[in-house]
Amino acid sequence: MTPLQWIIKEAKSLKKSYPKRFTKWTDYVKQASAIYASKHKGKSPVGKKKAVAKKVAIKKVALKKVYGTKKRKPISEQTILNKIHKVKDKVNKLDEAQHKHMILAGVNNQNVLKDIEKTKSIIKEQSELLLRLQDDYKKSKSKINKELLMMDIKTLKLNFLPHNKKYLKSLQILLKKSI
């Protein structure tokens, strides 16, 4: 039998023995709890919740004093989109610099042919990726997901594909001049 069950049983017997002693049931429970505490060396389970609640409240106050009450603002969709856009711009600039360096590095027919093949395969992969992104855009229901997909599509259409096509043409011209 748990302590609370014992206290309730004792409260019922007190009410039966002394029906007019207390006006409220809670008073009978308090009396039974006091009897239980006297029999068990002052340990009564009744009223423990309040003590625990006070300890929790004290801890919360202490934490507020240490860490403050400021809450961080949630990150907006626009800030996420801006960060992604900045990263893509950096990648695009690095890609352009690498292509210019390769053109200025010197003409070796075998290297140019390898670069042409690599660039063709990159253009093909990017075209396939563009088709997949467009299909995903049509299937997507989330607004933020659609915005992200549209940004990827625009980046591919406006930056990567035209850039790689120009690079391919410049390699082909370079190959013709070297022959």
pTM (whole model) above 0.75: no
DSSP one-letter string for 113-144: HHHHHHHHHHHHHHHHHHHHHHHHHHH---HH
The predicted pLDDT at position 132 comes to 87
pLDDT digits (tens, 9 = 90+) for 30-82: 888 888 888 877 666 665 555 556 666 666 666 565 555 566 566 666 776 67
**C-alpha–C-alpha distance, residues 18 and 8, integer Å:** 15
Among the listed residues 168, 47, 83, 170, the one whose alpha carbon sits nearest the alpha carbon of residue 178? 170
Res. 102: pLDDT tops 70: no
